Amino acid sequence: MKKIGLLLLLFPVLGSCQNMNSKTMEIKQIKNMENASNTAILAAGCFWCVEAPLLLLDGVDTVVSGYIGGHVANPNYAQVSAGNTGHAEAVMIKFDPSKISYDGLLEAFFLVHDPTQLNRQGNDIGTQYRSAIFPLDEEQEKKARYYIEKLNEAKAYDEAIVTTIEKATEFYKAEDYHQNYYALNPNEMYCRLVIKPKMDKFKKVFADKLK
């Protein structure tokens, strides 16, 4: 179980998604090494559940849902959902470093999901739903490792964190209908039962950091 208060004190500065019908649409490959100073790539289960809350943060400009970390080029949603591509559902975040830091995004990342669940988040099960950080440079990697180390030392969770730190390979933008999913489909059952409770909790915890 998450100990929210402890998490916030530690770093003050620093249904099932796969059951949805897949659609055939063009996947865009994104070169992600262009600017590590204002870009982060994080995986925390179903990307709909990550995109929506992170977009609320002041300083976050865009959040793109996509796929990363696998061995299949130009994957589609059906392939990734089958769990055989090695890819994780992830988000690419573009942010303004003058308003929010990479550390601040890590703080939000660890609060928006349960990093102690191995290859799953709730009823979304499979390696495609793994908790993972994809650093874009050495500095991001150091911060990610330090953050995980300190959270484990402080026993911020009842179980050990299983979040992996993986090489940032190519990021493939997911199909258009996945982008801004919660905002466009608030009445979908998954949105109402899974994402909305996460959003409500996120808004309370980060009330002073929202747009």
What phi and psi, each to the nearest 5 degrees, are found at residue 85?
-95, -15
User: Which residues lie closer than 8 Å to 92 by C-beta, 6 or more apart?
Assistant: 30, 32, 39, 40, 41, 63, 64, 66, 171, 173
Sort strands 164-165 and 131-133 into parallel, antiparallel or unpaired.
parallel
Q: How many residues does the chain have?
A: 211
Q: Return the ∠ at Cα 33 (arms to 83 and 44), rounded to 5°.
A: 35
Please report how the helices 196-205 and 47-54 are oriented relative to each other, as an axis angle in degrees rounded to 10: 30
Catalytic one of 17, 46, 49, 191: 46
- Asked if 191 is an active-site residue, the reply is no
Q: Which of 102, 179, 164 is nearest to 130 (CA)?
A: 164
Buried b (16+ CB within 10 A) or exposed e, 58-81: ebbeebbbbbbbbeeeebbbebbb
> Dihedral of the CA atoms 34, 31, 61, 165 (nearest 10)?
-90
Residues noted as catalytic: 46
